[in-house]
Amino acid sequence: MLNDNTLERLTEMMESLGNRVIRRNMGVAADLLCWTPLAPIIRASRRSRIESQTHEIRLREKARALCEDATRDHADLLIPAWG
């Protein structure tokens, strides 16, 4: 009926969708907890996650700029010597 590769891909897809629903529900639960005495902990967690994501985005932008500069300045190195 289904070969192993197709079955594996379908299983991965369903796990991904399930994890997405769980994360969404956890976000709703965290929003509700913001109205409890746990609010400072939730805020600190969100702040650290945002700072981490911001740091990663900045690093990616710097790397992208460096790669573009290297490609532009040294485009001759991208051409094969035997060609």
pLDDT computed for residue 6 by the predictor: 82
For 29-74, the pLDDT digits (tens) are: 777 877 888 888 888 988 998 999 999 999 999 999 998 998 888 8
pLDDT computed for residue 12 by the predictor: 87
Tokens 């911001």 correspond to: 54
Q: Would you tell me how many other CB atoms lie within 10 Å of the CB of residue 31?
A: 10
For 9-26, the pLDDT digits (tens) are: 888 888 888 888 877 777
CA dihedral 73, 79, 80, 83 (to 10 degrees): -150
Which of 1-5, 10-14, 78-82 has the largest mean confidence?
10-14
Residue pair 45/52 in contact (Cβ under 8 Å)? The answer is no
Residue pair 9/17 in contact (Cβ under 8 Å)? The answer is no
Q: Which two tokens stand for residue 20?
A: 């997405």
pLDDT computed for residue 16 by the predictor: 86
Tallying the residues shown for the chain, one arrives at: 83
